[in-house]
Amino acid sequence: MVKPSFLLSVDCDDWYHNGWIAGRPSCKFNNYKTFQSKYGGEGLRKPVRQIIKIFKRHGISKATFFVQGEIAEEYPDVIELLNDLNFEIASHDLLHFAPVLFSKEELYKNIKKSCSLIRKITKEPPIGYRAPNLMVDDTLFSVLKKLSFTYDSSICPSLPISGHYGNIKYPQYPHMLKNGILEFPITVSPFIPLPAGSAWVLRNIGLWWVKLAIKWQLKKYKVASFFFHPYEVSNLAPYKVPGLPFHVLKGIPMLKKLESLLSYFASRTKLMCYREYIESNF
Ligand SMILES: [Zn+2]
């Protein structure tokens, strides 16, 4: 029997990238360096090494890392290591501002720069994109088309939650957008569609919810997805940053849930990156 496909990805946000700290142009720390100079932190090297170890433990050799241009610039060695290990490197925009905050021209410039910063390391342009904070609109999709992206994975076809997500009119399975960009939606729950395929949900709702939704989606569409962030495998407790919400600080319990999820699906599905799924299905 052919195993269903499990699309695993990591959005390479450092912990300061979440919307409360640096997710909007109006935020005080609007780039990586200004934030690091005040608060420091362990950065991405340690958590990414930990992710590689976790993947090895579960026999996972395929995943997509969505990388911001500024992260590729700050940590070229980390992205090079991931690329050398054959993980797919895709774009997570330039900084971590929602694309909907920019004009079409600014957006084009930002995403193009993110591609060239990634290309400098990987020697090839990224074919995939994920929007910071999963905020999308038609302008973004036309920019992605203009920049020759093959796919996007930013639509969460769920009910809206405090102004986020809510792109319920879109299908819950991989499909072609009107302009020919392939869309890989974020996995949602059955019956009442709510976000499910992310570590935010794993942290704040629980392992049972994520497992239930992924199992349902695998059964119905033969493909599901899950993504997490490097800061979710870190211990963030020492960093006292005003505005960092308590639910980000999960440490070890989060790690246990993540390992349990990966262990469950690594044996029951074919874990792959987006590029590989496209190569074998389209
Ligand atoms: Zn992100």
The CA 165 to ligand 1 mean position distance, Å, reads 14
The CA 216 to ligand 1 mean position distance, Å, reads 25
The CA 64 to ligand 1 mean position distance, Å, reads 13
The CA 17 to ligand 1 mean position distance, Å, reads 7
The CA 228 to ligand 1 mean position distance, Å, reads 9
pLDDT, one tens digit per residue, over 107-145 is 999 999 999 999 999 999 999 999 998 989 999 999 999
34's CB contacts (< 8 A; 6+ apart) are 28
SS3 2: coil
Count of domains for the chain: 1
Q: Is the Cα torsion angle 93, 95, 99, 105 positive or negative in sign? A: negative
- Show the tokens assigned to 267: 């044996």
Cα(244)–Cα(251) distance, integer angstroms? 14
pLDDT, one tens digit per residue, over 183-228 is 999 999 998 899 999 998 898 888 999 999 999 999 999 999 999 9
- Write out the residue range of the structural domain in which residue 19 sits: 5-281
pLDDT, one tens digit per residue, over 238-248 is 555 555 555 55
Q: Specify the CATH number for the domain of residue 263.
A: 3.20.20.370
Does the pTM of the predicted model rise above 0.75?
Answer: yes
